[in-house]
Amino acid sequence: MALPKLQIACDHNDLPSALADIKAVGDIVDILEVGTVLLLQVGDEAVKCFRALFPDKEIVADPKCADAGGTVAQNLKNAGADYMTCICSAAVATMKAAAKEIDQVQVELYGDWTYEQAQEWLDSGIDQAIYHQSRDALLAGGSWGEKDLNKVKKLVEMGFKVSVTGGLDVNTLDLFKGVDVYTFITGRGITQAEDPVKAANEFKAKIVELWS
């Protein structure tokens, strides 16, 4: 079982703050994400800046694309992104159109989705999924638990490379010990830490501890 990767999600409201954070931890994390909020604020300029700073890093753009998949993917690929996200309610045709233009498409699992839909994505060549606890759900009192773990395990068993995100802290990773998680994605767990470099190193150390 490979070590899960660590991804920083930059959902900043402004580009300078995002760039300051990735400059601080970009050499520690495995993947850099231009988050939805940042994309809405500054567009693909953020992707271009991330790529200029880290020419050899994997970069994800997170538009949660629901339509015009090919156009969105081509634009993001031209800006420097390796992956992009599609929302799970998008048509399979949208996901397939995006997958033709960019290295990887990741399906964002929000709200109501089914394993039958998930099988359709797999059958179409889409094998990355992102399992969420949404920011709003967590703020409303939700938490990680056995129900989440079981869904992640099921998706892994189906053949997905599953990334996990949503209010993660270092201790949350204990829940997933022994599960073949592809990537842990954290934003505020690093960016809002008192010492982002220390926080990123703690995440990496915990991954090594649990998956080595």
Q: How far apart are CA 98 and CA 188, in angstroms?
A: 28
First to last CA, the chain: 9
- List average pLDDT for each run of 10 residues in the chain, which is 212 residues long: 96 97 98 98 98 98 98 98 98 98 97 96 98 68 82 97 94 95 97 97 98 95
Q: Tell me the Cα Rg of the chain.
A: 16
Q: Which two three-digit tokens encode residue 203?
A: 């995440």
- Asked if residue 61 lies in contact with residue 37, where contact means CB atoms within 8 angstroms, the answer is no
Return the SS3 of 10: strand
């599953």: which residue's tokens? 162
Residue 99: Cβ within 10 Å count? 19
pTM over 0.85, yes/no:
yes
- Asked if residue 22 lies in contact with residue 8, where contact means CB atoms within 8 angstroms, the answer is yes
Q: How far apart are CA 124 and CA 31, in angstroms?
A: 25
